Amino acid sequence: MAGGHGDAKVEVFDAEEDVAVALAKYIARLSDVHTKGKGLFTVVLSGGTLIDTMRKLAEPPYLDTIDWSKWHVFWLDERVVHKTDPLSNYKLAYDGFLSKVAIPPNNVYAINDTLPAPEDAADDYEACLKSLVEKKVLELSQVSSFPKFDLMLLGMGPDGHVASLFPKHPLLEEKNRWVTYIKDSPKMPPERITFTFPVINSSAYIALVVTGADLAKAVHIALGNHEPSDILPVQMVSPEGELTWFLDKPAASKI
Ligand SMILES: O=C1O[C@H](COP(=O)(O)O)[C@@H](O)[C@H](O)[C@H]1O
């Protein structure tokens, strides 16, 4: 089923396997458009279940047909831990996806895990993005002046959080920083860095990939017809470009 919600496109698939198939097709199409059009493709990954749902990209036909050499990969949020730590979003993405495809290692922009203080790690990642703007790997949005990524792949937690932007947290209101930090994340581990909403919402394309019955309540709040109470972080996702929700039936069961 496909439908619209405001400016967003909402696609509901029978099962998680069908979401994985559709997501790979969607990403491959955008990769083709951007690599042929401007010679590179900037992609932002989340952690969590998203990485497993991307699994079809590391299989034929995509494994051999996507121009991986033109991909540049970033993280929407990262835990301030070593890259070998089981809690690292980099490790999750490396083990489940990056180690299986031919993206040049120099095009993979992981957190600097030698910096133990979250504020330093956030400053360092923001400086990395700024240097990539100078090198013309990243462009700035003409609307917001924040960096404009080609594609952001977002997951969502059962509390409606996206990236490391949690309900009722002051970071939801950040208006200036590109990358910021949190030391009191309600989800472990507490110290993380995260893109801010101005950056998220400057994207050309955002896919919100949400599977599983435990997310149905937050999906209902975000997409159902009822009076809003507290706004969930996921409801603040509103890109300059195109937003598409990829849902399986269990996640969409309360809409
Ligand atoms: O902590 C995080 O949680 C969200 C959602 O993860 P999921 O396991 O519920 O899919 C994730 O998108 C984010 O990147 C991660 O750091």
Q: Identify the weakest region by mean pLDDT among 40-49, 82-91, 217-226.
A: 217-226
Confidence (pLDDT) at 224: 80
> Cα-flanking dihedrals φ and ψ of residue 218, to 5°?
-65, -35
Tokens 């009822």, residue?
226
Nearest to 18 by CA among 48, 55, 64: 55
pLDDT digits (tens, 9 = 90+) for 169-186: 999 999 999 999 999 999
Q: Whose CA is nearest to atom 7 of ligand 1?
A: 48
pLDDT digits (tens, 9 = 90+) for 234-249: 999 999 999 999 999 9
Does ligand 1 come within 6 angstroms of the Cβ of 164? yes
Task: Give the pLDDT mean for 37-57.
Answer: 98
Confidence (pLDDT) at 243: 98
Q: Is the bond preceding 61 in cis, omega lying within 30 degrees of 0?
A: yes
User: By percentage, how much of the chain surpasses pLDDT 70?
Assistant: 96
Confidence (pLDDT) at 7: 83
Instruction: Tell which atom from ligand 1 comes closest to the C-alpha of 78.
Output: 16
Going by C-beta distance under 8 Å and a sequence separation of 6 or more, which residues neighbour residue 126? 177, 178, 179
Q: How far is the CA of 135 from the centre of ligand 1 (A)?
A: 30
Has domain 8-231+248-252 been given CATH number 1.10.3720.10?
Answer: no
Structure tokens belonging to residue 149: 């990524």
Give the Cα separation of 125 and 107 in Å (integer): 14
* Ligand 1 pocket mutation, candidates 91, 161, 200, 237, criterion most atoms within 8 A of CB: 161
pLDDT, mean over the chain: 96
Helices (H), 49-142: 50-53, 62-65, 89-96, 118-134
Predicted ipTM > 0.90? yes
Element spanning 16, H or E = helix 16-38
Confidence (pLDDT) at 141: 98
Task: Give the pLDDT mean for 66-87.
Answer: 98
Task: Give the pLDDT mean for 116-136.
Answer: 98
Confidence (pLDDT) at 1: 44
Q: How far is the CA of 179 from the centre of ligand 1 (A)?
A: 17
- The amino acid that residue 184 corresponds to is D
* Ligand 1 pocket mutation, candidates 78, 164, 237, criterion most atoms within 8 A of CB: 164
Does ligand 1 come within 6 angstroms of the Cβ of 157? yes
Domain ranges in the chain are 8-231+248-252
Confidence (pLDDT) at 102: 98
Nearest to 157 by CA among 201, 209, 228: 209
Q: How far is the CA of 164 from the centre of ligand 1 (A)?
A: 8
